[in-house]
Structure 1
């Protein structure tokens, strides 16, 4: 089929059928009565870049989305868009369980059953089975809280904190920011009754709440406080692990701020602590080690517009036997796609986007980077593309 030329009206109709965060910018800007010139000035984004984002010639990054949200005086999730709720009943049940955090209930009859459910929950999380995670969470959280109230042991409260970390994770993936904030608060309260490392992981998620809201400087402040605490309270492997996950969060926040100096400092520290592990390990639902550090460097290199660096690290990592779960491999492919697209390799970008969908389809469906990459690739391909059509069918939109 020969390439066809699209008029401005055709492009607008095309964009309406392929929604994404960038498309939201144009809609929200008009709702707020702002011209492109006015929004560009308020947000500190160039007029040319803003125009390209709106029509689908450039992907909207979360850093730029935060600046644009601030320029319009709205929240970041309004720009990125919230993922729809797949089950209102499960979400209501989860909120009900969270309300009963301070209330002792009937303890589980079998600790083995609780441990089995916790294993299932972790497996679903690492496989990015978002719907299954949301279905399991209310019951697992209730049983974990009741067990903690019954025994009052640090290990039991550590389990509660770990489950709230999963609540935070699933809420963040859908950009349900009110639930993120509530989960982070409960996680920190549970961590106060557990071991020091649990508190450090909770601080890492608390900084993530700032990240999700676009307050990158505030998140860095949380990380700096947590680093000081970790340095004075943790020892041995826990110290390297705790400081490592904090620096990974720090480099992400600094990257979103485009603070190259701070990002490089966090990268150097993360690599230093990762070198203490021969392979990535898991503690309290967190991965840390050389491979997860590489995944974070790929993402932050993209935020800093070091796209060649991002691609180099990605290629080096993919030559290895990757032991990371889909929660990390899926985003790695998305960030690789973003780097390839920025470097003008549209076919390679589509390859990586397809890999992300293959590894973590539920995550790819709701992830703003995935949505933006898809929208831009649809805009760039002037002819029908079977590979994009296949993704479109999974997303259930028309292109």
Structure 2
């Protein structure tokens, strides 16, 4: 159902686009929201309605809550949470899917690739709307497939679970996220792909982050590194490099500076051997390692925070990096700046993160904590800070 069919929604979109600093063009809005320029133009002119998913994508690109644009005033985070039970229902029948039509493998492959692209672009509302049906379709195809088709379908299930897990984890549904990860671990042996297994080990680290079991998480990653194939091909190099990046961060959370530096150095050496790209669903390369260098410094805290500022002083993540990763860089940088007494710089970094990936930024707990701290530090300051804090539900 359209959220609104005529010009009032379009007028609101045009208004928020015009008051952004710097002002956003219709072309820039279209690119950020992943819709066509013609669609933006028609919506703003009131010539066409706008679906809820498109409106949410536009709101995210503008860095405003969709309630500011729509008439029914239901916030995006509420809509996502309301959709999570559908994901839960889809995975509850992973081994006993309902009877129904079986989609061709090439169609399923295309849908899984699209969902992965949404995950990397932090388009979580699109994932939560599409993945329940896709997961059901994949389970049905897997359980009715001939033996020769099962490995590919198992691999597609793993990738689809990963996209669904991104929503569950980012929106705080940690039990659902853990179930998704266990299903990845269930499906990956059937895929018979050690590089896919390495990517599952990378994702599994979320459960250790959530439980604050950092030392155990580091041990699990080191076991995955031992099991990973030798770093020969670009895909193999990236698989080991991504595990080292992840190990560096969780070692930082465990306050094990020696292990963090060792894994970061290993990741950097491997990154020098491959171009920056997305390998098995994970971005890896020299730029990704730079982002993780900032993350490790913030994780270690104390005297290490200055390293995050040093890295950011001479480098910024290029536009070719996935939006989720770029926004993470600025979220981590904002925390380092805030800890260093650079409140204004921290707020600027948070605003950059929001422009890059609004949904990821709004749901990040550090953003809420830091926005609340900034608001306390600058009580008499700008309406912009107040609006930002209200947007991300900072308290």
**Cα pair 2:188 2:196 within 8 Å, conserved:** yes
Q: Secondary structure at the match of 2:379?
A: coil
Give the corresponding residue for 1:24: none
* Residues 1:228 and 2:221 aligned together: no
Give 1:138's match in structure 2, choosing from 126, 132, 139: 132
Counting only pairs closer than 5 Å after superposition, residues 113-132 of structure 1 correspond to structure 2 as: 113-132=107-126
- Provide structure 2 residue ranges, at least 5 long, that are not aligned to the other structure: 1-75
Q: Secondary structure at the match of 1:384?
A: coil
- Mapped to 2, the partners of 1:328 and 1:192 lie a distance apart of 28
Give the corresponding residue for 2:247: 250
What per-residue deviation string (whole Å, max 9, x for no partner) do you get for residues 74-128 of structure 1?
A: xxxxxxxxx9653455322211221222236545334454344324322321221
- Mapped to 1, the partners of 2:139 and 2:314 lie a distance apart of 43
Q: Secondary structure at the match of 2:291?
A: helix
What per-residue deviation string (whole Å, max 9, x for no partner) do you get for residues 348-395 of structure 1?
A: 111101111111111111101101110110011131313202313423
Q: Structure 1 residues 124, 180: CA separation in 2 closer, same or farther (over 3 Å shift)?
A: same
Give 1:269's match in structure 2, choosing from 254, 266, 285: 266
Give 2:184's match in structure 1, choosing from 172, 184, 187: 187
Structure-1-length-normalised TM-score: 0.73
Which is worse superposed, 142-151 or 302-311? 142-151
Which is worse superposed, 107-116 or 205-214? 107-116
- Mapped to 2, the partners of 1:179 and 1:128 lie a distance apart of 18
- Mapped to 2, the partners of 1:85 and 1:212 lie a distance apart of 22
* Residues 1:392 and 2:385 aligned together: no
Give the corresponding residue for 2:209: 211
**Cα pair 2:305 2:336 within 8 Å, conserved:** yes
- Mapped to 2, the partners of 1:113 and 1:321 lie a distance apart of 32
**Cα pair 2:135 2:157 within 8 Å, conserved:** yes
- Mapped to 1, the partners of 2:223 and 2:136 lie a distance apart of 31
Counting only pairs closer than 5 Å after superposition, residues 52-91 of structure 1 correspond to structure 2 as: 86-87=79-80, 90-91=83-84
Give the corresponding residue for 2:162: 165
* Residues 1:96 and 2:89 aligned together: yes
- Mapped to 1, the partners of 2:349 and 2:365 lie a distance apart of 15
Give the corresponding residue for 2:347: 350
- Provide structure 1 residue ranges, at least 5 long, that are not aligned to the other structure: 1-82
Q: Give RMSD over aligned pairs.
A: 2.2
Structure 1 residue 248: Cα displacement: 1.2
- Relative CO higher for 1 or 2, CA cutoff 8 Å, sep ≥ 6? 1
Which is worse superposed, 308-317 or 180-189? 308-317
- Mapped to 2, the partners of 1:91 and 1:181 lie a distance apart of 14
Q: Secondary structure at the match of 2:267?
A: helix
Give the corresponding residue for 1:293: 289
Aligned residues: 313
Give 1:282's match in structure 2, choosing from 274, 278, 283: 278
